[in-house]
Amino acid sequence: MRYFFMIFALNLFLLIFCETSSSDPIVETFYGFVEGFNYRMESGEDAEIFLGIPFAAPPIGNLRFEKPQEPEKWNETLKAKEFPAACATHDIFMGHGDTEDCLYLNIFKPKASTKEGYPIMFFVYGGGFLIGDTKTYGYKNISDNLVSEGIIVVTIQHRLGPFGFLTTGDSRLPGNYGLWDQLEALKFVNKIIDKFNGDKTRITITGVSAGGGSVSLLGLSEEAYNLFSQILPMSGSAFSQWATKSEVIEISNDVTDAIGCDKNLTTIKECLKAKNVSEFQKILKPKIENYVRDNINLLQIAPRMDGDFIKTNCLKNATKNAPKKPTFIGVCSQEAIIYAMENPFFRSPNKYFNLPLEKAKNYTKADFEDFVKEILAKEKYFGNKSNEFLKDVSEFYSQQSDHQNSSDNFFFEQYITIMSDLNFNIPALREASLKAKNDYPTYFYVYDYNIDITDMGPKLVQGAAHGSDIRKKSSKEIY
């Protein structure tokens, strides 16, 4: 009987030992223990996944409209097994939940260890500074494509919309909170990533769209100089006219007045802190739709040059002064396809965007010139030279052809090209050119793989739409 008891006890010990040895990964960090889970990659190797790690204190209550604060240590093991909820105001545009308590990051790493440590990719999502979350990008495709190659991937969240970028343009409500969140996340990663077998001397900061513009700005912040080794902005640049906007002050004043906080109040921040999230959401969507009506600039609540996050108000000077970190920047070959035709991922009240298929198929030279006249060649931009600008732009984008109709989609393609040039191509080239002239190791790419990411039906223009490059590495969605 004693023999059988010993056999039973031994088997029980082996069972417990085996379960423990193959159990979910636990990592001890400066802030406490973190428990993730394993994912078997297509390569047959395992990745370790950690979701929803707080990198800052929740920006709620008195911390709303403040720079992020360091998170408190936790005593219990943190179960890092679910993606965090998106930041408000994601819900009113995308239709699924959000919260102000959203400053979390995720870590995807190879299970196998290495003495030298793994390089890190620090990723910031896109979404026009109004939408975006890490759950959309997932962890499976990222692990299969990147972690399997010996890369640790960190995806982070930051505050959006008014909670991230509302500003009075002065010390009462400085703004840029979403950028400060990104900086705080980068500091946090530098502090703990060695515990995940990461090499903090090899951190690439990268992002797509608004995330590309964000990391382009992040790379110029003095506080970030020693926190990364190289930069990869995708379809976004600090030089994009939507990436920094002084107009955000005027728009912020409109929002604060609408919510019942006089823009002239010395205590405007305290007034805004007392408002519910639902009050912001109620007024925001119709105002955003009004701002972008008949406007080439689709992003209105965005970062601004404040002399604090970047210690100068001139991007050229900031670029010249920053450490010459390697930069790999690029665009997709037909960025603006996603804005040009009706699709489920982007909708605009602007009648010149999201064109129905039949309109796109029959887009004429007159349509193109009408777009340039009504959206670009405005008197408020060019004064009495607006007609001259209209003539020059129309001639430049029409000079490749004598077409008078759109039987071969020529003018529809030129319509896409001019929107791509203004929002993505020219800004990326400006950044690359300036950095190359200032001795940055600089590389430029154009992604042209022709895939359908928008379910738009027949593809009238061949090429890669906005977000095509990141789709190949992450999820099936663009945002």
Structural domain count of the chain:
2
Any idea what the CATH number is for the domain that residue 27 is in? 3.40.50.1820
Mean pLDDT for the stretch of residues 326-344: 85
Q: Judge if 261 and 373 occupy the same domain.
A: no
Q: Judge if 298 and 221 occupy the same domain.
A: yes
Answer whether residue 117 is part of any domain: yes
Report percent pLDDT > 70 for the chain.
Answer: 84
DSSP state of 148: G
Give the Cα separation of 256 and 264 in Å (integer).
10
Domain boundary among 274, 293, 325: 325
Judged against a pLDDT cut of 60, whether residue 455 lies above it is answered with: no
Give the Cα separation of 400 and 163 in Å (integer).
46
Termini Cα distance of the chain: 64
Q: What is the pLDDT of residue 354?
A: 76
Q: Give the position of tokens 């080794």.
A: 229
Q: Give the position of tokens 């605009």.
A: 348
Q: Give the position of tokens 């997932």.
A: 138
Answer whether residue 4 is part of any domain: no
Answer whether residue 3 is part of any domain: no
Contact 180, 310 (CB under 8 A): no
Neighbours of 289 (CB within 10 A): 13
Domain boundary among 269, 302, 325: 325
Q: Judge if 195 and 341 occupy the same domain.
A: no
Give the Cα separation of 206 and 328 in Å (integer).
9
Judged against a pLDDT cut of 50, whether residue 215 lies above it is answered with: yes
Contact 364, 412 (CB under 8 A): no
Q: Judge if 87 and 183 occupy the same domain.
A: yes
Give the residue with greater pLDDT, 473 vs 261: 261
Residue 349: which residues within 8 A CB-CB, separation 6 or more? 289, 290, 292, 293
Going by pLDDT thresholds of 50, 70 and 90, the confidence category of residue 401 is low
Q: Judge if 89 and 202 occupy the same domain.
A: yes
Query: One-letter amino acid identity for 128?
Result: G
Q: Judge if 97 and 221 occupy the same domain.
A: yes
Contact 64, 272 (CB under 8 A): yes
**Catalytic machinery residues:** 209, 335, 466
Instruction: Classify 207 as helix, strand or coil.
Output: strand
Judged against a pLDDT cut of 60, whether residue 6 lies above it is answered with: no
Q: What is the pLDDT of residue 303?
A: 96
Q: Judge if 314 and 362 occupy the same domain.
A: no
The β-bridge relationship of strands 230-234 and 198-208 is parallel
Answer whether residue 479 is part of any domain: no
Q: Judge if 97 and 137 occupy the same domain.
A: yes
Q: Judge if 248 and 345 occupy the same domain.
A: no
Q: With helix as H, strand as E and coil as C, how does 408-421 read?
A: CCHHHHHHHHHHHH
Residue 180: which residues within 8 A CB-CB, separation 6 or more? 67, 68, 309
Answer whether residue 475 is part of any domain: no
Q: What is the pLDDT of residues 252-309, one digit of tens each?
A: 999 999 999 998 889 999 999 999 998 998 888 777 766 655 566 667 789 999 999 9
Q: What is the pLDDT of residues 374-388, one digit of tens each?
A: 888 888 788 889 899
Give the Cα separation of 103 and 86 in Å (integer).
9
- Containing domain of residue 243, as a range? 14-325
Q: Judge if 317 and 354 occupy the same domain.
A: no
Least trusted range by pLDDT, from 107-116, 244-253, 334-343: 334-343
Q: Judge if 291 and 401 occupy the same domain.
A: no
Q: What is the pLDDT of residue 359?
A: 86
Q: Judge if 281 and 179 occupy the same domain.
A: yes
Domain boundary among 294, 325, 356: 325
pLDDT, mean over the chain: 87
Q: 327 has which bridge partners? A: 231, 442
Mean pLDDT for the stretch of residues 415-424: 93
> Could you give the count of Cα atoms lying within 13 Å of 310 in the half-sphere of its Cβ?
25
Q: What is the pLDDT of residue 476?
A: 42
Answer whether residue 347 is part of any domain: yes
Answer whether residue 6 is part of any domain: no
Judged against a pLDDT cut of 90, whether residue 225 lies above it is answered with: yes
The arrangement of strands across the sheet holding 104-110 comes to 37-40, 46-54, 104-110, 152-156, 118-124, 198-208, 230-234, 327-332, 442-447
Residue 264: which residues within 8 A CB-CB, separation 6 or more? none
Of the candidates 351, 363, 463, the residue with the CA atom closest to the CA atom of residue 410: 363
Q: At what angle do helices 410-420 and 386-398 cross, to 10 degrees?
A: 120
Q: What is the pLDDT of residues 172-185, one digit of tens each?
A: 999 999 999 999 99
Answer whether residue 401 is part of any domain: yes
